[in-house]
Homo-oligomer: A and B are copies of this chain.
C-alpha cells in the first residue's frame, strides 16, 4: 500500500508492530494496574448507576463477563458496563499524558473481546500496554485546550486507545488499523460538563464500547477514512483548538513505554485526589494515638486552588463525602483507614460528622497556585486541643500506591473466588489462564449486595 498518509500510517504501524512483552517493567506495571482496576470494578459493580445501565441497555445474548455479576452480556454491552463500573468510584488509575483514566477504558474493551475471540493473557497484556501508549501519545499531541475547553480526555482519547488495543490484540493489517482508528475517532465524545454526575463514569464505558465496536466494524469491511492524523480537517482540527503537535503521536513510541514513565498513578483512597494529603495527616494522627475527643479545632492550610475540587463541607451521604476534606480527615483519624464503604450511598456516621465540624480551611496566598506540578500540592494542619495545647502536621505532594492488595481486599471482602484473582493476574500467560480469569470475575463476591437485574441473560 502506498503511504499517502504518513502520520496515520506510522501511528498504525507502531500500534500493530510493537513488542511490549519484551519489556519486563512494562509487563509488571500492567499486571499491577489490572489488579488495581479490578478492585475498582468490583467496588463499582453494585452501584445504583451500574444497575440502571444493565436495565436500560438492550438485552443482548453473549458470553462476556460483567465483573462481580453473574449475568453475561454481549461484548459491546459488557465493555460499557465494566468501563462504567471501573470508574464510578473515581478510584481507578490516572495517567498524566492522558490527563485522564486509561485503564478503565482499555481493559474492559479487551476483556469483552476475549469473550468473542480466544486470546492469550500475554496478548491481552501486550494489547493493553499498546492501547495505553496510543491513548497517552494522543494526549501529548492534543494540547491543553482540549481538556480546558470542555472535553473529557478519558472518553475522547480512550475510544481510540481501545480500538488500538483491539487492533494490536487481533493483529490487524495497517489498513484495518487505520480504519478502526478513524471509526473510533468519529465516535470520540464526552464533555467535562458531566463531572460530578452519573454520566462521568459512563464516559469510560462509552469509550470502551465505541473503541471495540470501531475495531469490529473495520474488520467486517465497513469502510472509513485512512487519514485521521493527516487530513487537514481530521482529529486535531476538530479537537485541539490550534494547539496540536501531531508528530507527538509517534515520537519516542515505547521508549520508554508510557505505562513505565511517566507511568500510572494508582489511587490510594476511594475519595477525591485533592483530599488525599488530608487523609495522610488523619492517618498519621491516628497512628500517633490522638483521641478525637481531645480535638478543639483543626485548621487546614491549602495552596491557592488546592481544595477547589473539595466542594463539600457538610456531607449527608458517603457520595458527597468523597469531596469533603472535613469528612475524609475525620474518617482517617477515627477509623485509621479509608474504605469503599465509607463513601457509599448511606448517610454519614454521627461520630465522623462531630469531628468534621471541628475542621476549618484557609489558604496560604503567598504559596504558588496549585498546578499539575505535584510540588505545588501541600496541606498544613494546625491542631488545637481542648486543653489548649497546639501542634502542626504537614503533608507535601500526593501519596502513591504501589501495591493494590489491600484495595482489592477492601473491594472483594476476602471472598474465596475473588481472593485468587490478584495472584492469577500476576502469573497469567496462556489462553487457559485468561479463560480462568474471566470465569472468576463473573462470581459476585459475598460482600457485593445488589439485585441482579433481570435484564440480561444469566
Contacts and interface: CB of A to CB of B under 8 A. Distances in A.
B190 A186 contact: yes
Contact of A224 (B187, B188, B189, B197): B197
A227 B195 CA distance: 12
Interface in A209-254: 213, 216-217, 220-225, 227-228, 231, 233-235, 237-238, 241
Interface string A347-363: 00000000000000000
Contacts of A235: 150, 191, 193
A203 interface: yes
A220 B52 CA distance: 7
A60 interface: yes
A192 B224 CA distance: 11
A182 interface: yes
A186 B182 contact: no
Interface residues of A, number: 57
Query: Which of A74, A202, A213, A235 gathers the greatest number of chain B CB atoms within 10 Å?
Result: A202
A56 interface: yes
A263 to B, nearest CB: 28
A206 interface: yes
Contacts of A228: 193
B189 A52 contact: no
Interface in A192-207: 192-194, 196-199, 202-203, 206
Interface in A51-75: 52-53, 55-62, 74-75
Interface in A130-167: 148-152
A379 to B, nearest CB: 27
Nearest to A62: B58
B223 A199 contact: yes
A194 B225 contact: yes
A199 B220 contact: no
A185 interface: yes
A77 interface: yes
Nearest to A189: B189
B58 A237 contact: no
A187 B80 CA distance: 13
A225 to B, nearest CB: 5
A150 B193 contact: no
Given A52-B221, A238-B151, A191 B186 contact: yes
Contacts of A186: 152, 189-191, 193-194, 199, 202-203
21 contacts: A52-B217, A52-B220, A52-B222, A58-B74, A58-B75, A58-B77, A60-B60, A149-B237, A150-B233, A150-B235, A182-B193, A183-B199, A187-B189, A191-B225, A191-B235, A191-B238, A192-B233, A193-B231, A199-B222, A199-B223, A202-B222
Interface of A: 49, 52-53, 55-62, 74-77, 148-152, 182-183, 185-194, 196-199, 202-203, 206, 213, 216-217, 220-225, 227-228, 231, 233-235, 237-238, 241
Given A49-B223, A193-B225, 13 more contacts: A58-B62, A60-B74, A148-B233, A182-B194, A182-B197, A182-B199, A191-B234, A192-B233, A193-B227, A193-B228, A193-B234, A194-B225, A196-B225
